[in-house]
């Protein structure tokens, strides 16, 4: 007979029926009984009421005592009639410290110091090990201990209380001792023979979840990326081509007015490419102007006043920021006959020679927004950042003055994260310097505001990850990728 029907029979013959009792009667796992009860409940054949009960069980140490005797009894029995040196006793008997003090306070042993080194001797000729007896009763399911004794054993970590959740069962409205098999399919045979009229059909379960379709699953980072892309597109931004991971120092640094001796241009921070090690195809007229502004200044700037070298600008590297792409785009824009205002964005990989830790990897994604128009200033930057981050679900921002070689003023962006209840740094921004824009040939009244952030950071916040390695690299759990729902930033 199936377990479901056995439960029904049992319920038919007994009045107060508890699932724990059935489990022990049937010699079955309690969880299996509970599972069967749930399906009987769905058929309204039984009803159940959850009950909590607690029971005292032996701990691992308690089991040892129930087997070998209490620590004090073990210690007592190991003392030879002539006594034993205390040091020796403490070294050889397991749990001697507890055993010794308990045996002393029970008056089972004594210390004889008459011969110099302390000698432990039996004080009584026999003992009754009540701890052992009590624990063996508990083991058999007999619990007649007084509250104080039980508490003492609990303190000695011999007993522990376990709380059990079980169910009291009673007969439901559809109670019977046999389970009618309900039809799940209406077949053409049933229709042809008319048998459907007398058959009982299983009701539809409209709460059942559908089967997940077989399909590929996007990595969380890609899902966040498409959310960002959507936000930029909604705001009227155009995507910049970001397919050049290898970039020259010229576009990555020099075009951005980053001096050639800047520490970021060191191999400790940047991955230089050895094959091919250099680039040579630059718009030379522009390059000359970049050289000029670095070494001598111009456009109202005194420059850095150093000996700018083309060899340094030619060095190939893995781009350290997507601002290299923005520089290329702005240069292209400057070559237009008539300037037209533009809104650009990019989301792609950048590379930095970082020491790796829980929140830093040597490669990550940057999200960057750039707006070029006449007469832009800090107020426009604040406005566009507010509009952008609002769409990401951050409606409270704070700014901190910062420094970038290519922007002035520059601001770090902080957002108040309501989930984490604290301010988090989420990006960097600024107004591009004339020393960067003017050599490109952009009209002098055109200003460009821009901001950048990482894609990984919001992804970690969104998916509740505190280690970036859970998101990128060999330790990524593919099941995590599979299980993750569609990403919707809370906006």
Residues in touch with ligand PHE (CB under 6 A): 321, 323, 368, 404, 407, 428-430, 450-452
Do strands 397-404 and 46-58 pair parallel, antiparallel, or not at all (unpaired)? unpaired
Residue closer to ligand PHE by CB (options 11, 325) is 325
**Would you tell me how many other CB atoms lie within 10 Å of the CB of residue 438?**
19
| Separation CA 258–CA 173 (nearest Å) | 81
Q: Are 89 and 96 in contact (CB under 8 A)?
A: yes
Kindly write down the DSSP assignment for every residue of 54-109, as one continuous string: EEEEE-HHHHHHHHH--HHHHHHHTS-TT-EEHHHHHHHSTTHHHHHHHHHHTT-E
Nearer to ligand PHE, 86 or 342 (CB): 342
62 versus 430: smaller Cβ distance to ligand PHE = 430
Please state the closest distance from residue 339 (CB atom) to ligand PHE, in A. 20
Q: If DSSP codes are grouped into helix, strand and coil, which group holds residue 400? A: strand
Do residues 242 and 287 lie in contact, with contact meaning Cβ atoms separated by under 8 Å?
Answer: no
Q: Which is nearer to ligand PHE, 86 or 428 (CB)?
A: 428
Our CB check for ligand PHE shows the closer of 48 and 260 to be: 260
Q: How far is the CB of 328 from ligand PHE (least distance, A)?
A: 14
Closest CB 454 distance from ligand PHE, rounded Å: 8
What does the chain come to in residues? 491
Contact (CB, 8 A) for 308 and 294: yes
Shortest distance (Å) from residue 432 CB to ligand PHE: 7
- Tell me the closest approach of the beta carbon of residue 452 to ligand PHE, in angstroms: 3
* Least Cβ distance, residue 162 to ligand PHE (angstroms): 55
Minimum CB distance to ligand PHE smaller for 248 or for 429: 429
Neighbours of 44 (CB within 10 A): 11
Q: How far apart are CA 100 and CA 70, in angstroms?
A: 11
Distance in Å, CB of 326 to ligand PHE, minimum: 7
Q: Which is nearer to ligand PHE, 18 or 407 (CB)?
A: 407
Judge whether 372 and 446 are in contact, CB under 8 Å.
yes
Using CB atoms, what's the residue nearest to ligand PHE? 452
Backbone torsion region of residue 250, taken as left when φ is above 0, otherwise alpha when ψ lies between -120 and 50, otherwise beta: alpha
């Amino acid at each position: 007979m199936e377990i479901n029907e056995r439960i029904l029979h049992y319920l038919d013959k007994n009045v107060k029926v508890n699932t724990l009792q059935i489990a022990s009667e049937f010699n079955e796992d309690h969880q299996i009984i509970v599972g069967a009860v749930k399906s009987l409940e769905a058929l309204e054949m039984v009803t159940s009421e959850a009950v909590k009960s607690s029971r005292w069980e032996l701990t691992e140490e308690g089991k040892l005592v129930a087997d070998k005797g209490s620590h004090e009894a073990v210690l007592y029995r190991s003392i030879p009639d002539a006594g034993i040196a205390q040091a020796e006793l403490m070294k050889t008997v397991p749990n001697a410290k507890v055993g010794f003090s308990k045996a002393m306070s029970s008056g089972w042993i004594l210390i004889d110091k008459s011969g110099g080194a302390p000698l432990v001797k039996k004080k009584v000729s026999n003992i009754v090990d009540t701890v052992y007896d009590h624990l063996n009763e508990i083991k058999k399911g007999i619990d007649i201990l007084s509250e104080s004794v039980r508490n003492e054993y609990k303190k000695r970590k011999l007993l522990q209380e376990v709380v059990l959740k079980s169910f009291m069962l009673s007969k439901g409205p559809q109670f019977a001792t046999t389970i009618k098999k309900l039809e799940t399919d209406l077949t053409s045979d049933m229709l042809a023979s008319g048998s459907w009229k007398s058959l009982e059909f299983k009701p539809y379960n409209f709460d059942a979840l559908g089967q997940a379709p077989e399909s590929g699953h996007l990595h969380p980072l890609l899902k966040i990326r498409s959310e960002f892309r959507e936000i930029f597109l909604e705001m009227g931004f155009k995507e910049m081509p970001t397919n050049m991971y290898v970039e020259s120092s010229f576009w990555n640094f020099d075009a951005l007015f980053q001096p050639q001796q800047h520490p970021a241009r060191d191999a400790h921070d940047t991955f230089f490419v050895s094959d091919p090690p250099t680039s040579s195809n630059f718009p030379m007229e522009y390059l000359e102007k970049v050289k000029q502004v670095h070494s001598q200044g111009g456009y109202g700037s005194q420059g850095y006043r150093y000996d700018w070298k083309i060899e340094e600008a030619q060095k190939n590297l893995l781009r350290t920021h997507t601002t290299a792409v923005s520089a290329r785009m702005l240069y292209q824009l400057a070559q237009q006959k008539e300037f037209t205002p533009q809104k650009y964005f990019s989301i792609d990989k950048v590379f930095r020679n970082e020491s790796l830790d829980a929140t830093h990897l040597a490669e990550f994604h940057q999200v960057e927004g750039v707006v070029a128009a006449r007469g832009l200033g800090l107020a426009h930057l604040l406005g566009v950042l507010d509009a952008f981050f609002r769409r990401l679900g951050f409606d409270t921002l704070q700014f901190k003055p910062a420094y970038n070689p290519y922007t002035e003023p520059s601001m770090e962006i902080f957002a108040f994260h309501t989930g984490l209840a604290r301010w988090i740094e989420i990006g960097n921004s600024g107004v591009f310097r004339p020393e960067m824009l003017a050599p490109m040939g952009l009209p002098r009244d055109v200003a460009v505001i821009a901001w950048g952030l990482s894609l990984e950071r919001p992804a970690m916040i969104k998916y509740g990850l505190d280690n970036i390695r859970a998101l990128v690299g060999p330790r990524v759990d593919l099941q995590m990728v599979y299980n993750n729902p569609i990403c919707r930033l809370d906006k």
